[in-house]
Amino acid sequence: MKIWILMIFYLNSNLDRLCDKLDNKIEKLALDMSQPCEVLYEKIIALSQKRDDLINLRVLHNNMVDSLTKEESQEMQELATKFFASHSTSCFRGKIKILKKCIQALIKAGYSAEKFKEVYPYLLPKIPRQVLQGV
């Protein structure tokens, strides 16, 4: 769960931009007359689902932030940035209390590590393999 928590904090600042990109892709597909309607429909549905998933990440982020103090929230943002810059799990040291609060907020929202793998499989390639093995 630690990795997913950090992924959510790391992506949060880019969620609006990512949603806008998906909106632009959906709009282009909606105007595309060169492909069969069924193909376009499937592509639009897939992109819309991905956009909904990103919006859900924002909601999960807000749930975690609500369970933390302002200082803890800033620490988590810094931790996520350090982690994805260095790919080192040593940044977890001393942050167990904050991580537990975040884990509780995610569990309360109905999320587990397995559910994240199921709902967000496209985010897994962004996490270095050696980190996934070590956590």
Q: What share of the chain in percent tops pLDDT 70? A: 85
Retrieve residue 71's tokens: 């200082």
Give the DSSP letter string of 43-68: HHHHHHHHHHHHHHHHHHHHHHHHHS
Q: What average pLDDT does this structure show over 103-115? A: 89
Per-residue confidence (pLDDT) for residue 63, from 0 to 100: 93
pLDDT-derived band at 80 (thresholds 50, 70, 90) equals confident
Residues in the chain: 135
29: tokens are 């597909």
Mean pLDDT of 55-81: 91
Number of folded domains in the chain?
1
Task: Give the relative orientation of helices 2-12 and 70-86 as an angle to the nearest 10 degrees.
Answer: 100
Q: What confidence score (pLDDT) does residue 117 get?
A: 84
Residue 57 is encoded by which pair of tokens?
A: 């990440």
Q: Rounded CA gap, 45 and 59, in Å?
A: 21
Residue 126 is predicted with a pLDDT of 59
**Which residues span the domain enclosing 65?**
2-134
Using CB atoms within 10 A of its CB, is residue 24 exposed (0-12), middle (13-18) or buried (19+)?
exposed
